[in-house]
Chain A
Amino acid sequence: MNTILEVKHLIKEYDVGKNSRQRVLHDVSMTIERGEFLSVMGPSGSGKSTLLYTVSGMDRATQGSVRFCDIDFSAMSEDEIAKIRLSRMGFIFQQNNLLKNLNIFDNILLSACLSKRETKQEIKERGKKLMEQTGILQLADRPITQASGGQLQRASICRALMNQPEILFGDEPTGALNSKAAGEIMDILLKINENGTTVLLVTHDIKVAAKTQRVLFMMDGVIAGEKHLGKYQGEAGSLKSREQKLTKWLSDLGF
């Protein structure tokens, strides 16, 4: 294994009015190895989403360093980081964030067409393959208003995977879905991880976190604990016991 993301002494502050700043992340350090499936849990306002967006280069660190594949984000311009986001990272949000005036297929192809790494035909073929794998091929020509939340979230996973990212970030990707749809999304993410893509999720849901390899617990802007659950193999019994272990661990930490 080698390190894909390394965070050292990360501090993030926001302006909250004149001459007043609020520190959201306090000296956070962590590393993520290539191929890992990691989740971050914690109460609202603990800084978990801020951590996700700062380590993914969507937001700038106030202090400390974020290195992606040995590239230091602090030394890069917005455009350079955008290029990395386009070609080497994928994002899934709680809301699907698909563009309103494109159909589902076009939404999926969008970032791949922008990166121009493949021909349009190759892009279209891969888009269809991903849609087939996620079970939404029949929705290709539909506008986004004619699909369910779960279907749209699958479409946004397809979009995130189009450029074959090295790491996939998810901010509560199942947060707006019912438990059945959430389970299906997690199964897809597990498959993606099996194929070698590193995944980092922020979640409130123990059932989601229980399927991940390692869980970070955040409290008041610091990583208050870390739990290694090991790779989830997919047996129903094992999931129950992982959930119980996780629940006990979180309650020990006061969550």
Chain B
Amino acid sequence: MITAALCGFFILAAMLVSGAITIILTLSGSMDTLLASADASHFSQLHAGEVEQMELDDFVKENRRLVKAQQTTELLGINGANIYIGGQEQSEADSLMENSFVRQNQQFDYLLDTNNQVLQVSDGEIAVPIYHMQRYNLKPGDKVQVAAGNFARDFTIVAFLRDSLMNPSMINSKRFLVSDGDWELLREHLGDIEYLIEFQLYDTSRVRELETLYQDSNMPQKGTAMGYSLVKVINGMSDGIAAAVIIFIACLLVLIAALCLRFTMLTTIEEDYREIGVLKAIGISNQDIRKLYMVKYTLISAVACVVGYLLSLFAGNLFTANISLYMGRGKQTIWNWLLPVTGAGIVFGAIIVFCMLVLRRFRHISALEALRLGTAPDKGRKAGTYTLSHSRIKDVNLFLGVNEVLGHFRMYGLLCFVFALCTFLMIVPINLLNTLESSNFVTYMGAGKCDLRLDLQHTADMIARYKKTEEYLKKDGDVSKYGAMFTCTYKAANSNGTYDNMKVEIGDFDLFPLEYTKGSAPQKENEIALSSMNAKEYQKEPGDNLNLIVGGRERQMTVSGIYQDVTNGGKTAKAILPVDHEQVIWFTVNIDLKDGVSLEEKRLEYSETFHPAKVTDVTEYVEQTLGGVIDQLRLVVKSAFVLALAVAALITGMFFKMLMTKEARQTAVMKSLGFTVNHIMKQYLTRAVVILAAGVACGVLAANLLGGKLAGLLISGISDMRFVVNPLYTWLLCPLSLMLAVAAVMILCRKTVRSIHVMMAAE
């Protein structure tokens, strides 16, 4: 049974290590192939507004040493309410994706099909992003309709497109490819034009240089900019995280397998102690005795690693299906086979080395002692520090349990560590899920907690629209409060003495407050709060100064606080400054409704009234942005819960089985004195409960101290998350389930204690 469990752990560990290596290799190969096939852009700038191509050409001429090619493409942004995909009755109005219709590019940044070939579509045909294909389970031949008023145009899906710039589901802009004729037709009837200004460089390592030059010039930049490295990071992120999580789980499994192996080997050595003594006494060397034991474990681990590797080949498709779908397959080289085999080989090597380390203890076994005692001598704490005669614990079995743990803390520390690990493994995902599901989570995302949020990107008449909006809201009796925020771009001095663009939100931050990890919201003029990513980049703490160029003059701002933000790439700031309407790139209005007002009705009303502004139900917004993450996390929570319980149960079983074997004679002596099986089990249970309590306490502490940071690593923009804890789950359910799992195993272990015959005391 134990050998089977051990074998299972080895197989899983080998499979996951090989699998993770396969993911990393596939990811990097596929990404390189995609970027090469698409002839990807190295620096891209979205711009909502007019573009003077002449100025851009001049900029390119000035920077000829850097820029290899430049192209400006037009994106026809069409409101989701006008798009119907795959014969759905429901339009894309509720989708967070901003869908643009484009023509195939002429110079570079080509849109590819699922064979990584440059796509060409005819009139009436359309190529749909992979994201939509996956979401609606689309097939070639399905329809897409674009309709507004009396205009309607039907398209037939002929291909699904890979987009080197906007592929990942994390990017909320998507490009649909139509023919030049259809594009012109659509443009005549609906949509807003946004420009995508793209550059290719001779040397991709100099993208940052071009980015700075571009930002410092007066080139069009009302929109998001994206460098080559960011494209790579975002493309690799979701699958990279999966690989990281798998590697983390594999490491955990190797660790657990090592602990199981140690317990198993020590138990075997305990059982064979006298025989080892005999072997030594008749002159067999330590090395030869070690070989006898190594044969078994070498065989088990070799078989397990081979099986694990083979399974990883079958599971490989499962691991890499998503990567292949979004990016295609890269070139298969010998490394694609060799490195996963090496991974499994490393697991095998680690097991063998660990076995050898454990078996080193043969050197310390004295033949005489083994023959005389039949068990290993006790190297625990010397008796006398905590005594029965002075103890306040009245129950002798409780005392013996506690005394044993205190006397051998190093040995029990290992089990304590396992329990702490299991608790951590259980609590962190539960706390994370609870935090993501909490209604306050939006305040971690850099947005205030409100019912509805209205976003208006830059348009020519944006300020007029804002004024209209404000008037409307002021008169609306259903609104309990509202607050507007303007986002402007300012130049901020970085540590090198040069200036970077910084998006700064201006408004009243008391109306819809955020969670600040350090300091507080800006209260007076010249105060600025930075998102944690910006604070890190500019190396600022609350109280530090930051220079901004406002209205052409340098202004010294004081950092008032730091907050988490996942919006706009995580690099934002909030300040109290006079609003320069010329600099506003978008505005946001947070709205709270009075009790009893229907959110959905209001959302529809505002969507119509304030078109083209985007009105979002904030709870739904969180659900849409994090819905996928939450679903995945639920699965992780369940898996982690089961895994933690299984590990705790297995390790407890192995550990106590080893102890019971080791202490069989002592148990027999106690039985001879009149201790019953229940008495002895009470001692073992006390030990288990003491270790479990210590382990759970350490685990909970670690989850509180490190859990938030760990969660921050998984969700970009949040560096340190303050968990919203559900005490029922965290403080009660997790420890209780662990306790029950341990108790169940201890009940099974009762059989071992029962089987120890009292006559053993006489041997």
Contacts and interface: CB of A to CB of B under 8 A. Distances in A.
Contacts of A118: none
Contacts of B383: 100-103, 106, 143-144
A17 B274 CA distance: 21
A99 interface: yes
B762 A83 contact: no
Given A101-B403, A106-B388, A110-B388, A85 B672 contact: yes
A109 B394 CA distance: 13
Nearest to A80: B676
B762 A53 contact: yes
Contacts of B174: none
A158 interface: no
Contact of B389 (A89, A97, A105): A105
Interface in A58-88: 58-59, 78-79, 82-87
Interface string B380-395: 1111100111000010
A58 B677 contact: no
Interface string A94-118: 1001011111011001110111000
A102 B762 CA distance: 20
Contacts of A58: 672, 758-759, 761-762
B396 interface: yes
Given A102-B388, A106-B383, A106-B387, A78 B676 contact: yes
B678 interface: yes
B196 to A, nearest CB: 75
Contact of B407 (A101, A120, A141, A144): A101
B673 A86 contact: yes
B674 A114 contact: yes
Contacts of B407: 101
A93 B383 CA distance: 22
Contacts of A59: 757-759
Q: How large is the interface on A (under 10, 10 to 19, 20 to 34, 35 or more residues)?
A: 35 or more
A100 B667 CA distance: 12
Interface string B650-671: 0000000000000000100111
B275 interface: no
Contacts of A101: 378, 380-381, 383, 403-404, 407-408
B384 A143 contact: yes
A53 B759 contact: yes
Given A78-B676, A82-B671, A110-B396, A105 B387 contact: yes
B410 to A, nearest CB: 14
A171 interface: yes
Interface string A118-148: 0010001000000000000000011111000
Given A101-B404, A143-B383, A159 B388 contact: no
Interface string B228-247: 00000000000000000000
Contacts of A159: 673
A195 to B, nearest CB: 21
A109 B380 contact: no
Interface string B386-430: 011100001011010001100110000000000000000000000
B384 A97 contact: no
Contacts of A142: 384
B248 interface: no
B389 to A, nearest CB: 6
A87 B674 CA distance: 8
A49 interface: yes
A115 B384 CA distance: 23
B672 A97 contact: yes
Nearest to A83: B674
A109 B671 CA distance: 16
B679 interface: yes
A217 interface: no
A91 interface: yes
Contacts, number: 98
Nearest to A102: B383
A113 B388 contact: yes
B675 interface: yes
Interface in B684-716: none
A114 B396 contact: yes
A91 B759 contact: no
A86 B397 CA distance: 14
Chain B residues touching A, majority SS = helix
A85 B382 contact: no
Contacts of A171: 762
Contact of A49 (B382, B670, B676, B762): B762
Contact of A111 (B380, B399, B673): B673
A93 B665 CA distance: 13
B679 A91 contact: no
A86 B673 CA distance: 6
Contacts of A144: 383
Contacts of B676: 78-79, 82-83
A109 B388 contact: yes
Nearest to B678: A79
Contacts of A141: 384, 387
A149 B58 CA distance: 101
Interface in B352-394: 378, 380-384, 387-389, 394
A110 B400 CA distance: 10
Interface string A200-218: 0000000000000000000
Given A101-B380, A171-B762, A111 B389 contact: no
B627 to A, nearest CB: 56
Contacts of B378: 100-101
A142 B387 CA distance: 11
A237 to B, nearest CB: 36
A232 to B, nearest CB: 26
B686 to A, nearest CB: 14
Contacts of A106: 383, 387-389
A128 to B, nearest CB: 10
A114 B403 contact: no
Contacts of B389: 105-106, 109, 120, 124
Given A106-B389, A113-B388, A82 B675 contact: yes
Contact of A99 (B397, B408, B666, B762): B666
A192 B407 CA distance: 35
Nearest to A163: B674
B679 A97 contact: no
A78 B669 contact: no
Contacts of A91: 672-673
Contact of A93 (B388, B394, B671, B762): B762
Interface in A5-53: 49, 53
Contacts of B381: 101
B388 A114 contact: no
A102 B673 CA distance: 15
Contacts of A111: 673-674
A194 B606 CA distance: 105
Contacts of A79: 676-678
Contacts of B757: 59
A84 B408 CA distance: 32
A101 B394 CA distance: 18
Contacts of A84: 674
B387 A82 contact: no
Contacts of A109: 388-389
A12 to B, nearest CB: 11
Nearest to A103: B383
Given A58-B758, A59-B758, A144-B383, A102 B403 contact: yes
Instruction: For the complex of A and B, list the 9 residue pairs with the smallest distance between their C-beta atoms, beginning with the closest.
Output: A86-B674, A143-B383, A106-B388, A85-B674, A113-B396, A103-B383, A97-B669, A79-B676, A100-B378
6 contacts: A49-B762, A78-B677, A91-B672, A106-B383, A143-B383, A159-B673
Given A82-B675, A120-B389, 16 more contacts: A49-B762, A78-B676, A84-B674, A97-B669, A100-B378, A102-B383, A109-B388, A109-B389, A110-B388, A110-B396, A110-B673, A113-B388, A113-B396, A114-B674, A115-B674, A145-B382
Interface of A: 49, 53, 58-59, 78-79, 82-87, 89, 91, 93-94, 97, 99-103, 105-106, 109-111, 113-115, 120, 124, 141-145, 159, 171
